[in-house]
Structure 1
Amino acid sequence: MSRRLRCRQITDVDAPSLVPLLASGFRTRSASYWSHALRVLADRDAPAGYPRFGYLLEAGDGVPAGVVLTIFHRRTDGEIYCNISSWHVTKTLQGYASLLIAAALRHREVVYLNISPAESTWPIIEAQGFGRYCEGQMLAAPALSAVTRSARILAFDSCSDAQSALPKDERALMREHVQKYACIGLVVQDGVETRPFLFLPRRVSLSPARTVQLVYCRNVADFSRYAGALGRALLRHGYLTALVDANGKLPGVAGRYFRNRGPKYFKGPRPPHLGDLSFCENVLFGP
């Protein structure tokens, strides 16, 4: 490697110079989108010992020539997860792109996620040791599914009963996503059971109807079980369809499954469970 090239952690002062680099590498995103994304990372705390922003590749003149953003967080089960996001290196230095990803993936105890890889990069990330944990997505019309009669749906943001029934760390996760990231928080009470759900409003090419994406539940089987009741609650918010990560058509849920649409990859000690995209790029930066 040239002595005039180095890979290092991104700091707060680097953010302005990274915006044009990211905008040039991801042309479907505007400079204002990347300015917002970097402000979000600046305003949140990563777990101790992990970078807040990610890593950059710096040329000898101090100009960033490559970037990879990392979103580290500690999940409710105590595990450290990291969403690898927005990996780009200028054409002239693409031979050094592996330096960035090697720096980002150096923590062996971390579960790394790549939740939005372009199809052209699938072989590359598989060669880096990533494997699929999600094969595709289901576009569901949950209101058309059968209703569990015993289920009661509560809005998390307006009902103290819905909040108090959840464990403290899960309650904090729900509150942050509802208040900071404009998610819709719903809680299902079914007898002694209480199940939380978070949905992110978004536009998808698959559906002309207003759509949400499931970004948090304890298990995607919970969505299948309560799809009818959740769908009716979402209708009251004006949303007809829901995009759900899945490895096949969800039993009992009205809708269509699309294999190889939105596949998701992981690398680390254990695969994540479907139905948890909390603190990932789509939520923090916007869909």
Structure 2
Amino acid sequence: MAVLTQKLRCREISEADLDGVADLLTRGFVGRSRHYWMQGLRRQAARQVPNGYPRFGYMLDNGGMPVGVLLLLYSSRMNGGETAVHCNLSSWYVDPAFRNYAPLLTKIAQKNKEVTYLNISPATWTWPIIEAQGFNSYCSGLFFSLPALSRLEPGLTVDTISPDTHAIEGLPDPEVELLVNHAQYGCLSLVCRTPGGGPFPFILIPMRIRRGWLAPPAMQLVYCRDIAEYVRCACAIGRTLLRRGKLSVILDANGPVPGLTGFYSKARGRKYFKGPHRPRLADLTDTELVLYGP
């Protein structure tokens, strides 16, 4: 805890603070409802967090009332056979009267050198600021794929994983838990199988591609083991999505993706990291995109 003035402190957010934090974020982010914030905060309250790290993040406390907040979403990843801790920096807002103290939130939030920090939704105008803070880009854009136009591999099947699934043949328990948890968050969890391979797990979340008045229905690829597995299963996944009224799957990329029909754009989708482990593409599990929604 950092004491800034007699009444102002910087401290961890506790569960007792959630109503006040939701009110603050609703004021700060026009277009996001209080329900949106409370749903995400409740999900943070219920999920597993690596030992020793904040569950929710940090806040500026002015006489018991939150006047600034930075949400943090910690998770564990396997990296080269060892466990790496990632932290998604999310939803930073400070009331105008306290903006002079805003940098303290980011300073405290990024104090752990063993943690890899992620910023997955930076506004375009903030890119130079984020880079000046020592962050590096690991994803430069988005590939908008039309998977139903890909080549269909004979015999490939697609199963939808429900939120109450307990076991999936051929998948290790941690991956089953990942698929089930994200299905409970409202994601679409799929498992593809081929006669000679698989199973291949995938997680997707509904998105809207906004171009002027048009907003074609699409899905964002949240998780797969490797982009090559998505390319292999794209046609079967695309046909499954067409039955749900979805035409496109958006995936993080650093250029055009061989084997997929679609187009690559650098106009949006840039993502940054700072820390010891470079994140891989196609793993946005347990981030703000999932826990709070697009």
In the superposition, the TM-score normalised over structure 1's length comes to 0.92
CA drift of 1:244 comes to 1.0
CA drift of 1:149 comes to 2.6
Q: Select which of 251, 255, 262 maps to 1:248.
A: 255
Q: Does residue 146 of structure 1 match 2:151?
A: yes
Instruction: Tell me the equivalent position of 1:235.
Output: 242
Q: Give the whole-Å Cα distance in 2 for the aligned partners of 1:42 and 1:159.
A: 20
Return the letter of the residue paired with 1:182.
G
Q: Give the whole-Å Cα distance in 2 for the aligned partners of 1:102 and 1:161.
A: 41
Cα deviation, 1:165-203, whole Å, max 9, x if unaligned, reads 11211111011111x112112222231332111111222
**Structure 1 residues 32-181: aligned runs within 5 Å:** 32-59=35-62, 61-77=63-79, 78-149=83-154, 151-157=156-162, 163-178=168-183, 180-181=184-185
Provide structure 2 residue ranges, at least 5 long, that are not aligned to the other structure. none
Q: Give the whole-Å Cα distance in 2 for the aligned partners of 1:229 and 1:165.
A: 19
SS in 2 for 1:163: coil
Runs of at least 4 residues of structure 1 off by over 4 A?
A: 158-162
Q: Give the whole-Å Cα distance in 2 for the aligned partners of 1:256 and 1:96.
A: 42
Q: Give the whole-Å Cα distance in 2 for the aligned partners of 1:22 and 1:29.
A: 8
Q: Give the whole-Å Cα distance in 1 for the aligned partners of 2:65 and 2:262.
A: 48
Work out whether residues 163 and 181 of structure 2, in 8 Å CA contact, stay in contact via their aligned partners in 1. no
* Residues 155, 36 of structure 1: alpha-carbon distance in 2 compared, 3 angstrom cutoff: closer
SS in 2 for 1:226: helix
Q: Give the whole-Å Cα distance in 2 for the aligned partners of 1:70 and 1:261.
A: 22
SS in 1 for 2:286: coil
Work out whether residues 252 and 281 of structure 2, in 8 Å CA contact, stay in contact via their aligned partners in 1. yes
Q: Give the whole-Å Cα distance in 1 for the aligned partners of 2:159 and 2:38.
A: 35
Work out whether residues 224 and 252 of structure 1, in 8 Å CA contact, stay in contact via their aligned partners in 2. yes
Q: Does residue 269 of structure 1 match 2:273?
A: no
Return the letter of the residue paired with 2:138.
Y
* Residues 244, 198 of structure 1: alpha-carbon distance in 2 compared, 3 angstrom cutoff: same
In the superposition, the TM-score normalised over structure 2's length comes to 0.90
Return the letter of the residue paired with 1:211.
A
Cα deviation, 1:10-31, whole Å, max 9, x if unaligned, reads 0011111112211122112122
CA drift of 1:283 comes to 0.8
Q: Which structure has greater helix proportion?
A: 1
Mean CA deviation greater in 273-282 or 189-198: 189-198
Identity value in percent: 45
Work out whether residues 167 and 173 of structure 2, in 8 Å CA contact, stay in contact via their aligned partners in 1. no
Return the letter of the residue paired with 2:123.
A
Instruction: Tell me the equivalent position of 1:220.
Output: 227
* Residues 3, 123 of structure 1: alpha-carbon distance in 2 compared, 3 angstrom cutoff: farther
* Residues 161, 23 of structure 1: alpha-carbon distance in 2 compared, 3 angstrom cutoff: closer
Work out whether residues 76 and 170 of structure 1, in 8 Å CA contact, stay in contact via their aligned partners in 2. no
Instruction: Tell me the equivalent position of 1:202.
Output: 207
CA drift of 1:223 comes to 1.6
Provide structure 1 residue ranges, at least 5 long, that are not aligned to the other structure. none
